[in-house]
Amino acid sequence: MSIDDWPDNTMENRRVVIRKTIRRATLDELKELGSQRFLIVTDPWCERYNAFLKENASAVFYRAETPEGAEIIYCKDVGRGLWFLPGKGMGIIQPKGLQLLTEIVNAL
């Protein structure tokens, strides 16, 4: 099951928690988060994460959490984001999640 197939009540729960936790994040803060999450700098996700930050260094980033404990990094300027589930994994935020984040950020 992909993230886009989750039941609406799950997305609504996420919307509520993300709305409560979302805030702007500085580039330095996100770099520090990366150094905490990626203990091995040759990890492909570490390289991808750092490239994402470098490519969008002048952009506005947001950080939030989900009810499941995932951390979200969202770049409004390019409409892209990543999620981390500490100690378990990370991935790219899919279209339904990006739409949710765009709506929340636009309402700030």
DSSP character string of the chain: --GGGS-HHHHHHHHHHHHHH-EEE-HHHHHHHHHHH-SSTT-HHHHHHHHHHHHTTTS-EEEEE-TTS-EEEEETTTTEEEEEETTTEEEEPPHHHHHHHHHHHHT-
pLDDT tens column, 93-103: 999 999 999 99
How does the average pLDDT of the chain come out, rounded? Answer: 88
Identify the pLDDT of residue 4: 55
Identify the pLDDT of residue 62: 98
* pLDDT confidence band for 2 (50 / 70 / 90): low
What is the pTM for the complete model shown?
0.83
